[in-house]
């Protein structure tokens, strides 16, 4: 099967000439200050379109065409490289990878001894030259033959030590990038100094490394992907660098004290079969959204030095390595508007309205903007071109404006001076603004959430009925539901004897729901169904939760210092509502829980303790139609079962998944689990493991 990656259609010679000019200009900006007007995906599509046009019209090829050139032929430097610093060719599918590997085997006339598989880091390629173990020069890739001296960056890059562990003369090659935290810090520093925010982490690293004079300091990170001898390298070290496989070189580099991917969640591995290579590609891709640095693909290399030497290089790329490109998770689009929405807890949240753009396989129209301070810090304006980032199941977010694309028609973003829902005052004492009325500002949303299926599950309370109850002054929060009388309910429009009795019966049944359901219904910020279950099982009773301080909350799995502080404040704020629930006779205990500090019961006795549980420490995903003892259980009920048995329920399969419960028509999650080597069991087999908790 031949892969056909998307490309820009170029219809005639004029369009071709314009495309070449656009590509060269964009490439110069990308490898210069990192401020290209095109995102990576748009640039790649354009270059593929240029190449396709040139294949059909070789007589029209322009000398400055970016095809077949390192950095698109747009960037040069004045420091010659000791060995050409080449780019990599790309494939975009498993079929493309197989075709490339087959071609390499034909070229070699033998099997590849082993493959190296590692993430393709989304940064700026540099060479770092050491003399006698001391870092003396940093050089960018440039046009592959020569690069720019950026030694002024020495001392700003973690993972690139000023002195190596041994006094060797060597050249390390790798990527300089910014982690998400470093990117946020760099933008904070740059805007505080009066500069425009960087568009994305890669442009931040490139711009910061090249800036000669700055009024602020930034931090970047280096990951090595190779090492070469230099003039002055002792013969023993030079011989090792020439003869070691790539994996051996990376071990040597790590031993010298430089960063490699070995200490990250996506370390390089070696594989002896293409089947394992494909598996590792899937594993790295699955972890992409969880990384704190950007990757845009996976690099597959022939590991042995002999295989690399025999395969050779082309004019722009080694023939023994390929980049398996992943779908773009960052695109450039326009910010059309900003909406200010009030959530069920009274938080006022800005949301970006975007010109629709496809990112990571889905069309994005809205993205998070966090808060008003975030908007101001990023310097956003209505009409801006902005970079939008999305990976996996992560909610899309606006990174920053692409300032150099501004036309002058952009306008400031209006910030509300009063609550956009009720018109009352705004509490702006914290970064996340809230209406001073809190949950009562959006009582409909708060009550609707509380009575939902995954919380109290009260049938017959749709949005219109809740509106009626609030408008009639019968409820101000969901605790008021439990003191409604027959006379009050039947007096509502379109409520007869039967419907009134059914609604009151459903409300009465909700009183007996376990604590985790009640706690979830409270809508405490920073919690959801899983966290509510964990908190309820840990403390056992609402009284214990209310008495807990931040330190006590941190004993719950998944609760860190920041979330613990929010929990304490939220529970204190909810005290009047909790008091009303207690007075109404709502259940405030969790069946089977031990409470903090108490010994865990024996799991075989049918009780869930804090340890010794069958799923302790396991991340479990359930998918497909459940059967056997699990038949009829909702997905949320299955997740509750997982957590009662000590596991952690998850909705997506990744390399961190421990177990997949695959019911009928399990589909893509089962396929992914098989590729990742995750243990897969049937619902019947799973029921056997957790029988004590059914």
From the centroid of its chain, how far is CA 59? 45
- 3-state SS string for 150-198: CHHHCCCEECCCCECCCCCCEEEEEEEECCHHHHHHHHHHHHHCCCCCC
Q: State the CB neighbour count (10 A cutoff) for residue 263.
A: 10
CB 189 within 8 A of CB 216: yes
- Find residue 435's DSSP bridge partners: 426
287-317 b/e with 16+ CB inside 10 Å = b? bbeebebbbbbbbbbbbbbebbebbeeeebb
Q: What are the structure tokens assigned to 386, written together? A: 């902005």
Where are the alpha helices (H) located in 294-352, listed in sequence order? 305-311
Of residues 474, 563, 580, 468, the one with CA closest to residue 521: 580
CB 596 within 8 A of CB 555: yes
Q: What are phi and psi of 633, to 5 degrees?
A: -75, 140
Of residues 218, 191, 221, the one with CA closest to residue 207: 218
| C-alpha dist (Å) from residue 225 to 43, 162, 317 | 25, 18, 15
Burial class, 346, CB count within 10 angstroms (exposed 0-12 / middle 13-18 / buried 19+): buried
Catalytic-role residue among 69, 120, 670, 672: 120
Of residues 425, 441, 429, 450, the one with CA closest to residue 343: 441
CB 400 within 8 A of CB 378: yes
Helix (H, G, I), strand (E, B) or coil at 401: strand
Question: Angle 13-31/40-56 helices, nearest 10 degrees?
Answer: 140
Catalytic, 670? Answer no
Of residues 556, 512, 514, 513, the one with CA closest to residue 531: 556
234 contact partners, CB below 8 Å, separation of at least 6: 168, 169
- In angstroms, rounded to a whole number, what is the distance separating the alpha carbons of residues 325 and 76? 25
Helix (H, G, I), strand (E, B) or coil at 212: coil
- In angstroms, rounded to a whole number, what is the distance separating the alpha carbons of residues 287 and 265? 8
- In angstroms, rounded to a whole number, what is the distance separating the alpha carbons of residues 685 and 691? 10
Hey, which residues are catalytic here? 120
């Amino acid at each position: 099967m031949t892969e056909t990656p998307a490309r820009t259609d170029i219809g005639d010679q004029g369009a071709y000439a314009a495309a070449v000019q656009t590509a060269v200009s964009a490439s110069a900006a990308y490898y210069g200050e990192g401020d290209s007007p095109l995102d990576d995906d748009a640039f790649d599509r354009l270059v593929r379109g240029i190449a396709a046009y040139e294949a059909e019209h070789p007589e029209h090829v322009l000398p400055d065409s970016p095809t077949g050139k390192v950095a698109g032929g747009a960037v040069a430097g004045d420091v010659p490289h000791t060995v050409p610093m080449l780019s990599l060719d790309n494939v975009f599918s498993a079929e493309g990878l197989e075709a490339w590997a087959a071609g390499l085997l034909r070229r070699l006339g033998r099997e590849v001894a082993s493959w190296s598989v590692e993430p393709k880091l989304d940064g700026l390629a540099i060479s770092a030259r050491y003399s006698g173990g001391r870092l003396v020069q940093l050089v960018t890739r440039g046009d592959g033959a020569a690069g720019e001296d950026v030694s002024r960056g020495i001392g700003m890059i973690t993972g690139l030590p000023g002195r190596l562990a041994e006094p060797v003369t060597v050249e390390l090659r790798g990527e300089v990038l910014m982690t998400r935290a470093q990117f946020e810090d760099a933008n904070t520093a740059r805007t505080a100094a009066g500069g425009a925010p960087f568009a994305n982490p890669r442009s931040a690293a490139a711009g910061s490394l090249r800036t000669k004079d700055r009024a602020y300091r930034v931090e970047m990170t280096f990951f090595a992907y190779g090492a070469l001898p230099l003039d002055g390298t002792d013969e023993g070290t030079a011989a090792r660098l020439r003869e070691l496989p790539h994996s051996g070189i990376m071990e040597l580099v790590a031993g010298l004290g430089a960063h490699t991917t070995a200490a990250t969640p996506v370390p390089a591995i070696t594989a002896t079969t293409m089947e394992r290579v494909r598996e590792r590609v899937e594993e790295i891709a699955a972890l992409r959204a969880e990384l704190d640095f950007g990757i845009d693909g996976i690099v597959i290399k022939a590991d042995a030095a002999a295989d690399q030497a025999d395969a050779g290089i082309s004019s722009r790329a080694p023939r023994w390595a390929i980049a398996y490109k992943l779908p773009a998770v960052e695109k450039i689009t326009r910010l059309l508007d900003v909406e200010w929405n009030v959530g069920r807890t009274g938080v006022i949240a800005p949301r970006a309205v975007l010109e629709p753009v496809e990112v990571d396989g889905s069309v994005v129209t809205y993205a998070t903007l966090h808060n008003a301070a975030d908007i101001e810090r990023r310097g956003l304006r209505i009409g801006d071109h902005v970079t939008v980032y999305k990976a996996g199941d992560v909610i899309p977010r606006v990174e920053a404006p692409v300032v150099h694309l501004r036309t002058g028609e952009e306008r400031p973003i209006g910030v509300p001076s009063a609550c956009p829902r009720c018109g009352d005052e705004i509490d702006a004492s914290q970064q996340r603004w809230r209406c001073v009325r809190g949950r009562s500002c959006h009582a409909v949303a708060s009550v609707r959430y509380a009575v939902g299926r995954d919380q109290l599950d009260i049938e017959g309370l749709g949005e219109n009925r809740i509106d009626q109850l609030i408008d009639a002054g019968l409820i101000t929060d969901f605790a008021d539901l439990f003191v409604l009388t027959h006379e009050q309910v039947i007096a509502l429009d379109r409520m007869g004897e039967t419907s009134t009795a059914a609604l009151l019966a459903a409300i009465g049944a909700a009183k007996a729901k376990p604590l985790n359901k009640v706690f979830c219904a409270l809508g405490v910020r920073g919690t959801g169904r899983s966290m509510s279950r964990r908190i309820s099982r840990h403390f056992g009773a609402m009284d214990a939760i209310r008495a807990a301080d931040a330190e006590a909350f941190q004993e719950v799995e998944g609760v860190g210092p920041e979330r613990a502080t929010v929990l304490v404040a939220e529970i204190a704020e909810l005290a009047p509502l909790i008091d009303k629930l207690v007075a109404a006779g709502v259940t405030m205990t969790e069946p089977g829980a031990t409470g903090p500090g108490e010994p865990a019961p024996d799991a075989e006795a049918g009780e869930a303790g804090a340890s010794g549980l069958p799923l302790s420490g396991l991340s479990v995903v359930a998918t497909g139609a459940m059967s056997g003892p699990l038949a009829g259980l909702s997905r949320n009920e299955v997740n509750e079962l997982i957590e009662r048995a000590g596991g952690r329920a998850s909705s997506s399969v990744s390399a961190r998944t421990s177990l997949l419960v695959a019911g009928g028509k399990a589909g893509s999650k089962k396929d992914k689990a098989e590729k990742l080597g995750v243990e897969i069991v049937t619902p019947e087999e799973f029921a056997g493991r957790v029988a004590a908790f059914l």
